[in-house]
Amino acid sequence: MAVEPRRIFYHDGPAVQRATGEGRTLAASMPRLILEARRIAATIIHGLHGRRRAGSGENFWQYRRFVSGEPASRVDWRRSARDDHLYVREQEWEAAHTVWIWPDRSPSMAFASALGRETKLYRTLVVALALAEVLVEGGERVGIPGLMRPTGSRAVIERMAQAIVHDRGARASLPPTFSPSPLAEVVLLSDLWSEIDDVRRTITQLCGSGARGHVVQIVDPAEETFPYWGRIEFVEPEGGGRVTAGRAEIWRTDYAARVLRHRAEIRSETDRLGWSFAVHRTDRPASELLLALHARIGAAPAGGGTSWHALAEPRMPA
């Protein structure tokens, strides 16, 4: 018998204790988490500028020639009086490109093995908050599906942290059903150990309005390598199920095959819809994921595959 990717079990011990207790200590760890998010965001914020596109806003961008057929009310007569041409005054684009960020906070995200730097939950929240800070600095609006309306406030990290800490709802792995606008983008940060049908249904629904998206599977190194030997009891943090392996090492090959198949099915769905997909391990720097996400958001859809070459996806053990 092998462990199915939708039902990952963890070695009973410190890792499980962290998984069951992390949710209760999230409020206490939030100040440290916020500081870490700000530190990581600061590494790429320097030198960022607005989107520099024409649109509705308050800041002047440039004058351009009046085009026949435009409403005469758009002509800037003061500027046009100094030349033989008619000019239109354009404002810098401030229309709020909205980015919805979903940080998975389900119980399985509180897992951390001895191979990882921190829990999947901690890494997910740090990246979500840091990404929000960077996006708002660049003139975007950020929201959390079902939890926080989009905002361009410079205090976005504090708003997100408050919304997360005071959320009393169920900790679902996947975002609730909602309809992002056609120009919005969705960032899904999750371990994605859900039924593949649920993952497909969620991505398809979010894509229905025309929104673009980026799916990131955040995993602990132990979930990639299955470094277990001998007689071990595994515990499912979200259901409390237990299973004992007499020789855990004989599960490794079957486990790896199931994980790769699960991941391939997710990638197939994101490719079909024009979304991007990446795998991020918690033993890698958080800044690596943040840089890759920032590069992808707002970029034109790539032709063909949508895999991220910026993140090296580790190979599963043979």
Same domain for 146 and 259, yes or no, is yes
Residues in contact with 83: Cβ distance below 8 Å, sequence separation at least 6, in sequence order: none
The 3-state DSSP class for residue 87 equals strand
Among candidates 72, 144, 64, 50, which has minimal Cα distance to 102?
A: 144
What is the enclosing helix (H) or strand (E) of 7?
Answer: none
Same domain for 66 and 108, yes or no, is no
Residues 246/309, Cβ–Cβ less than 8 Å: no
Same domain for 234 and 162, yes or no, is yes
The 3-state DSSP class for residue 59 equals coil
Taking only the tens of pLDDT, the chain with its 318 residues reads: 334 444 444 444 555 454 445 555 777 889 899 999 999 999 887 655 444 444 444 455 567 788 777 788 888 888 888 888 898 876 544 445 899 999 999 999 999 999 988 999 999 999 999 999 999 998 899 999 999 999 999 999 999 999 999 998 888 999 999 999 888 999 999 999 999 999 999 999 999 989 999 999 999 999 989 999 999 888 777 766 788 888 989 999 999 999 999 999 999 999 999 999 999 999 999 999 999 999 899 765 544 444 443 354 544 444
Same domain for 220 and 116, yes or no, is yes
Same domain for 69 and 177, yes or no, is no
Same domain for 207 and 266, yes or no, is yes
Same domain for 85 and 229, yes or no, is no
The enclosing domain of 221 has a CATH number of 3.40.50
pLDDT tens per residue, range 154-202:
999 999 999 999 998 888 999 999 999 888 999 999 999 999 999 999 9
pLDDT tens per residue, range 17-45:
544 455 557 778 898 999 999 999 998 87
Q: What's the gap between Cα 148 and its chain centre?
A: 15
Q: Which phi and psi angles does 92 have, rounded to 5°?
A: -70, 145
What is the enclosing helix (H) or strand (E) of 164?
Answer: helix 156-165
* Predicted local confidence at residue 305, as pLDDT: 42
Same domain for 231 and 191, yes or no, is yes
| C-alpha span between 110 and 190 (Å, rounded) | 11
Same domain for 149 and 171, yes or no, is yes
Domain extent, residue 215, equals 10-50+97-296
Give, in order, the Cα–Cα distances in Å from 292 to each of 21, 187, 215, 216, 245: 31, 12, 12, 11, 38
Same domain for 148 and 283, yes or no, is yes
User: Residue 195: inside a domain, yes or no?
Assistant: yes
Q: How many domains does the chain have?
A: 2
| C-alpha span between 218 and 196 (Å, rounded) | 16
Same domain for 134 and 185, yes or no, is yes
